[in-house]
Amino acid sequence: SIPLPPLRERPEDIEPLALHFLRRFATRMAKEIYSISPEALVALQSYGWPGNVRELENVMERAVILTGGSSVQADVIPLRGSARTVRATDSASAVSPHTPRAVMLPLEEIERQHIEMVLKGTGYHKSRTAEILGISRRTLDRRIEDFGLMDGQGAGNADV
């Protein structure tokens, strides 16, 4: 076997690997995402990567799902055990007297929208969606049923 040092000992490899995964998942999800912001890159390079390259791959997949623009931003980089698990909507949804009512949604509606977004991002691959959400496949199936998701919009794509 060939000894390969852990990713945390090869920070120079993080950017090219992250860009590779970005291109792969953006293409797979038909999203026009072309770059990683400098702040997001710093977050990636300063993380310890206990899960090594596979964890980087999973982080980039989630980032592509959560990215709405053409560049991955630091606020969508979901790193375990880090303050960087913030989502793009978190900073925009701080409630103040001037917050529009549309931002102040019930928690159940936010959960429904998030599950729907991840389902769409994975092409309605339920096992992958459950993994990304950090819930069991059975829990995801219950939430899909509770929220009435996938009614004719991916039921044929559901995995086993």
- CATH number at 122 reads 1.10.10.60
Shared domain check, 68 and 19: yes
d(C-alpha 124, C-alpha 2), whole Å: 38
Tell me the per-residue pLDDT of 20-74, one tens digit each, with 9 for 90 and over: 999 999 999 899 999 999 999 999 998 989 878 999 999 999 999 989 899 999 9
pLDDT score, position 150: 74
pLDDT band at 2 (very low <50, low <70, confident <90, very high): confident
> At residue 138, does pLDDT exceed 80?
yes
d(C-alpha 92, C-alpha 58), whole Å: 25
**pTM of the predicted structure, to 2 decimals:** 0.59
Q: Is residue 47 part of a domain?
A: yes
Tell me the per-residue pLDDT of 91-124, one tens digit each, with 9 for 90 and over: 343 444 544 554 566 778 888 888 888 888 888 9
Q: Is residue 55 part of a domain?
A: yes
d(C-alpha 42, C-alpha 27), whole Å: 24
Q: Is residue 80 part of a domain?
A: yes
pLDDT score, position 19: 97
* Count: domains in the chain: 2
